[in-house]
Structure formats: structure tokens, C-alpha cells
Amino acid sequence: MKSLVIVESPTKAKTIQKFLGSDFIIKSSFGHVRDLPKRELGVDVENGFKPKYIIPTKAKKVVADLKKESKNADVTILATDEDREGESIAWHLQEALKLKDPQRIVFHEITKTAIEQALKTPRHIDINLVDAQQARRILDRIVGYKLSPFLWKKVAKGLSAGRVQSVALKLVVEKEREIGKFIAEEYWSVEALLKKLGKEFSASLIKNGEKPIEKLEIKNKTEADKILSELNNAGYIVESVEKKETKRFPAPPFTTSTLQQAAWQRFKFSAKQTMMLAQRLYEEGNITYHRTDSLNLSEMSLSAAKDFILGKYGKDYWAGKPVHYKTKSAGAQEAHEAIRPAYAEKSPDTLKGIDARQLKLYTLIWQRFIACQMTHATFDSVSADIKANDYTFRANGQTLKFEGFLKVYPTKTEETELPDLEKNDKLDLSKLDSIQHFTEPPARYTEASLIKALEKHGVGRPSTYASILSAIQDRNYVFKNDQKRLFPSEMGIIVNDVLVQNFPEVVDIDFTAKMEKELDEIADGKDTWEKTCKDFYTPFAKNLKEKYEEVIKADLTKKTDKVCPKCGAPLIERLGRFGRFYACSKFPECKHTESVEGDPDTLNIFCPKCKEGKVTGKRTKKGKTFYGCNKFPKCDFALWDKPVNELCPKCDSLLIEKGKKIVKCSNKECDYVKDANK
């Protein structure tokens, strides 16, 4: 009896084939085999929102091959991923291949045990999960295909809008405006460097009499100097000492969101990069499924972790019983387990044949999982209050007593050792100082903190975070600065403002979160996808029609005193998808364009090729930065690396930046390199 097993990716197919015998044929669908058409809405909004699915050109040969294989097989088994998208792919395979009664199996990890168990318990396709995914796809298509033309007409051609991406853009724009409104506030602190038996330690001023001194209370140098004068010739006596043992517990295993955050913090991996690496690790059988918002761990994995910890580190390092973590998110769904290694005993040093980035991510996942079943770290903490006239200073100390889980999952811990202090000890003053501070503006989002904000507000789901962040950057609405923090482009701000003013429900965080809950209800069989689509579309379409009449096209041009070198007409400054540029006012008769001088991306470097233009930062359609001549297309000089305003002493080519510390020649045949700081 021959069984055909269909999965999404060739890598997954190759891994599964290792566990199944010759009676099984494993084939890949290479992802989705049906989708909505690219050049049209593909949704009949007048007749129950019926979607028009087609087989894309690139999938036709795959579908034909799978049809042939399914006809020759006794049983067809659909083994796509266990989330809504995987269920949807399975349903589309059933429809495209015209399968009568395929078996559906799911597993959270690609191991022999998990696959054998799944084959013993096949089920039918869960149409509720399919409907939930279909509703998401249709809603996203409606917003994208209906709002994008509105933006073309009222703002600029080539723009696009997305249902969830627009909410992410709104968060970035609001953060930027919050930063713009911020006014720094001055404050001061007072620190004493004290000494006992030759050992120095620091203490901070915390009280005046019985009144605590708040962080912003000392407002200027005059107030700080007054305190210093009142402490002149003061004696420093230990008033009280509190010694206690503190515990630090390990973090839970990873969910999709926390993995993306940790990978950015540790390695500066983007969300998209993290998910690509995790996908590969999963398909190769190294980790469990990587799209999850659950903290559950299987009993088998808990037992394996216990055995590994006891065998490797000893009983003092195991928590003493299996540690179960509770998912905080009320909407957690479609995830059976947290992200963990498929085999607890497979430590990173035993993993062979994967690239360095995959190994970094696997190490992080493995360490976090093992650590979550280990005992807490223990610290000896000391807090001493020190009296000086009417003022009180506090010194805090902390030393590691037992490392516990930190042995496997090292995290930043600050140790400060104080001398052995006792009540009424008299201390020597080494130095008394006042320090000026200023309040800091809110930090711009990183990819990690934006994902955290989306998760907090209930916007998006584990499978969508990476695509949300990619979309707002690919559309050039949001860029990253040198610190990899997100800031909106001028066009991103304009698009956001148009959407906020005219389609508030589309970018409303609570509304979008409510929509996620409705999709959950469809998945649970408590609602229908048709009703959800209708409830959204009816008021949306009415408002869209009104806005076409009401909204005046945004004027994104500025007059200049420049003249078109081709036809002599005035040049105007325009704002396009990729930033500001000069264009001939006689467009489309004359199509001359050039970069804006003085643009933040324009460097003070003459083009080494034509000697006329300036080198300017440009962006590809996918948002990647490169540097080229602003006389393009007359001059086609271009570099990927940022040039510096200096020529190579060996060959007279431009020098380019390679990281923060190295400058080298842009001529590949020249080996000149120097320290950037010299």
C-alpha cells in the first residue's frame, strides 16, 4: 500500500523521508498552490465575498505532478504546518488536486516519534481554521486593493495600504511625534564615594530628613550646591544594614514574539531573518514549530530536560519538579507548544552541518529551554542606609551565591561588592559630587520593541509579525537608522495622516485587535467568515466612496529657482515613494529628474566617474540603500558601500566604509585598508 505525504517545503520533505519507509512517497507543494489573482481584487463583494482562487503559473507544474502522484497512491496524506495557514494550504491542495477524502496529520516537531504518532491519528481538514485564514486573506485583500488606488489618486502613484501594516506604521509615526514634542528636563543627583578599611564604595542620596528625594527633585546646580554645602564636614555613619538572599528565576521558553525580540537583542537579527532561520531549523528537525504564542511544554520534553540537567550539571541545578508556564495572552491560539529543541540532549556543540547564524539561533532556543527547567540563581544582597547630618545615602551591593540557570543561559548581571558594614560604623568620605542629568526622550522602536507593542495591543499573530515589519519597510514608509531603530519617512507620515484622518477604523488599534478576536471566533466555529467580511466591508465601502468625493489631492510639490537642463522649464521638487527629487514642471512632455541637493542622503563628494555630479544615497525598490551619482542616467556610477570624502593614496579611487572601524578602497583590485579613526 503506497501513501503519498505532501508537505510545503523540500527541506521538510527530506527530513520526514528519513523516518518513513519505502511505502511512503514524500512530496513538496513548494508553499501555496492556489491564491487570489494579482491583477484584480479577486473577491466578489456583491455575492457573499466569494474568493476567486487561481493556480499561479509557478505552481502549475507542481500541481500537475502532485495530481499524477495522488492518482497512483492508495492514500494521500496532507502534512502541512499545524497553524491556520498550514490548514489553508492543505485545503487548497485538496481542492486543486481534487482529492476526495485526504487524511490530515499535524505534528509540532519533525521527529520519528511525533510523525509516527501523527500517522496513527489522522483527521479531516478543519474547515473552521481554513475559514479563519480565508477571512484574514479576504480582509487584507479588500483593504489593500481598495485603499491603495485611493492613495494613488489623493497622494502619489505606487503607494499601498495594508490592514495590519497601517497600524504598525501608525505606532512608528506616533512615537516619532512623541519624540519631536519631547522637552528635556534637567535634574541632578548627589553621590558619595565612601570608604571602610581602605575599600571604597558608592552611595546615592535618597532622603532629606524623613522626606524621600524624588528623581527629578534636585532641579539645577544651585540646589545641588546647596546640598553639598550642607554636607560640608558631615560625618558618615551607617544607620542600618539589611542583608538578604534574593532569587532570580529563569524566563519561560520562547514564543514567536519573544524569540524575535531576543534574537534582535543578542544578534541584531531582523524579525524576517529570525523566522527564516527558525523555519530552516524546524524543517530540518532541530526545533519544534516556530509560529506559536503558547508556553506549553510536552511531558516528554520536560522529562528529557530533567534527564539532561541531572546528567550534565547535577541535582542542584534541576528545579526539583517540572516547571509549567502559563500563557498570559488571552487570545493565544493555534499553538500546541512553546519553541524548544526537538531533542533536549542535542546541545549546540553536537549540532553539525548548519550555518553560523542557524547555530546562533539554535543555541539561544536550546539554552532558554534547558534554563527554564533549572533552579533559580541566588544572590546575596546588601542594602545600607548611611546618615550624614539630616541626609540619608543608600549603598546597594549584590554578589552571586549560586548560578543556577545562569550556567546555561547567561544574562547580564551586575555584581557590586560592599565592605562588611555594621550599624554605627563610621565611614571615611573620599569624594562628594553632584552630577547633572537630563531626561531622555522616548526611544524609537526597534523591530523587537515594535513586535512587543503589537503583541501587547493584540494586533497580528505569531505568523504575521515578520511580514508586518517587512511590509512597512519594503514600502519605504519606515527606515532604520544607524542604531537599527525605526523612523518614518516623509511619505510614511503623509500616508499615515491620510489614513488616520479619513479611515480611522482601519488604523485603530482596538478595532484591529477586535478583528483578530473575530478571526479567533471563526477558528473556534463561533462565527462565520462571510459575516465578518460583510460587517467590515459595508461601512468601509460607504466611507471610501464618500472620501473619494471629499478629499482633495495632496500637493507634494515645491517651487524651486532651478531650470530643467533638457528643456529650460522650471524644475519643481516632488515627493515620491523613494524620497524627494527634482522633476521638470512640463512632465510628462519632459521626463527629466535629478536628486535633491542638500538632501540628507547627498554626500559632499563629487562623482569620481563624471566629475560633475554629487554622490547621493539612493534606495532600491525593496528599500536597500546604495550610493550613486545624482546625474543618473547621464552617469551610472554606483556603490553599495558608503563612500568617504577621501581618495585612495594608491590608486585614486574612492574610499568606502566597511563597518565602523575600517576604511578600504572601492577598487576591488586595490588592497588599501586603514583604521577609520586615523
Give the tens place of pLDDT for each residue, 455-507. Answer: 989 888 888 899 999 999 888 899 888 788 999 999 999 999 999 999 999 89
For 275, phi then psi, to 5°, come to -70, -35
Q: 99 falls in which pLDDT band (50, 70, 90)?
A: very high
Instruction: Report the distance separating Cα 557 and Cα 537, nearest Å.
Output: 34
Task: Kindly report, residue by residue over 44-85, the tens digit of the pLDDT.
Answer: 999 999 999 999 999 999 999 999 999 999 999 999 998 899
Identify whether the C-beta of residue 416 lies closer than 8 Å to the C-beta of residue 395. no
Q: Tell me if the bond preceding 633 is cis, omega within 30° of 0.
A: yes
> What is the value of pTM for the model shown?
0.82
C-alpha cell at 556: 507634494
Question: Which ranges of 352-489 would DSSP assign to H, the alpha helix?
Answer: 356-371, 447-457, 465-474
pLDDT of 392 reads 97
- C-alpha to C-alpha distances, 623 to 165, 169, 454, 619, nearest whole angstrom: 16, 16, 23, 5
| 667 Cβ contact list (under 8 Å, min separation 6) | 648, 651, 653
Residue 175 has pLDDT above 50, yes or no: yes
Identify whether the C-beta of residue 204 lies closer than 8 Å to the C-beta of residue 393. yes
Task: Kindly report, residue by residue over 400-439, the tens digit of the pLDDT.
Answer: 999 999 999 998 888 899 999 999 999 999 999 999 999 9
CB-based burial, 155-167: b 16+ in 10 Å, e otherwise: bbeebbbbbbbbb
pLDDT of 334 reads 42
CATH superfamily for 135-181+443-550 is: Topoisomerase I, domain 2 (1.10.460.10)
pLDDT of 147 reads 93
Residue 120 has pLDDT above 70, yes or no: yes
Q: What is the mean pLDDT of the chain?
A: 90
- The DSSP call for residue 52 is -
- Average of per-residue pLDDT across 667-674: 81
Q: 450 falls in which pLDDT band (50, 70, 90)?
A: very high
Instruction: Choose, from 187, 236, 282, 289, the residue flagged as catalytic.
Output: 289
C-alpha cell at 405: 540557570
Q: If DSSP codes are grouped into helix, strand and coil, which group holds residue 25?
A: strand
More confident residue, 469 or 615: 469
Q: If DSSP codes are grouped into helix, strand and coil, which group holds residue 148?
A: helix
Q: Which CATH architecture has domain 256-371?
A: Orthogonal Bundle (1.10)
Residue 43 has pLDDT above 50, yes or no: yes
Residue 579 has pLDDT above 80, yes or no: no
CATH superfamily for 186-249+377-438 is: Topoisomerase I, domain 3 (2.70.20.10)
Residue 598 has pLDDT above 60, yes or no: no
| Count of CB atoms situated within 10 Å of the CB of 251 | 14
Q: Is 289 a catalytic residue?
A: yes
CA atoms within 13 A on the CB side of 670: 18
Task: Kindly report, residue by residue over 268-293, the tens digit of the pLDDT.
Answer: 999 999 999 999 999 999 999 998 98
Q: 390 falls in which pLDDT band (50, 70, 90)?
A: very high
Centroid of chain to Cα 143? 23
Instruction: Report the distance separating Cα 441 and Cα 313, nearest Å.
Output: 45
Q: 331 falls in which pLDDT band (50, 70, 90)?
A: low
pLDDT of 353 reads 83
Going by DSSP bridges, is the β-strand pair 602-606/593-595 parallel, antiparallel, or unpaired?
A: unpaired
Residue 603 has pLDDT above 80, yes or no: no
- The DSSP call for residue 636 is -
- The DSSP call for residue 552 is P
C-alpha cell at 410: 547567561
Residue 130 has pLDDT above 50, yes or no: yes
pLDDT of 329 reads 59
CB-based burial, 205-223: b 16+ in 10 Å, e otherwise: beebeeeebeeeebeeeee
Q: 606 falls in which pLDDT band (50, 70, 90)?
A: confident
pLDDT of 667 reads 80
Residue 620 has pLDDT above 80, yes or no: no
Instruction: Report the distance separating Cα 616 and Cα 636, nearest Å.
Output: 12
Identify whether the C-beta of residue 15 lies closer than 8 Å to the C-beta of residue 283. yes
Q: What is the H or E stretch that residue 654 is in?
A: strand 654-658
C-alpha cell at 427: 565611614
Burial class (CB in 10 A: 0-12, 13-18, 19+), 357: middle
Q: 30 falls in which pLDDT band (50, 70, 90)?
A: very high
pLDDT of 400 reads 95
Burial class (CB in 10 A: 0-12, 13-18, 19+), 478: buried
- Out of 261-265, 318-322, 349-353, least confident range: 349-353
Q: Which residue, 10, 13, 12, 11, is CA-closest to 24?
A: 13
- C-alpha to C-alpha distances, 557 to 185, 540, 554, 572, 573, nearest whole angstrom: 38, 30, 9, 6, 5
pLDDT > 90 in the chain, percent: 70
| Count of CB atoms situated within 10 Å of the CB of 413 | 13
CATH 3.40.50.140 fits 3-125, yes or no: yes
Residue 624 has pLDDT above 60, yes or no: yes
Centroid of chain to Cα 412? 22
- Average of per-residue pLDDT across 615-628: 71
Identify whether the C-beta of residue 286 lies closer than 8 Å to the C-beta of residue 350. no
More confident residue, 390 or 624: 390
- Average of per-residue pLDDT across 154-164: 89
Going by DSSP bridges, is the β-strand pair 3-7/75-78 parallel, antiparallel, or unpaired?
A: parallel
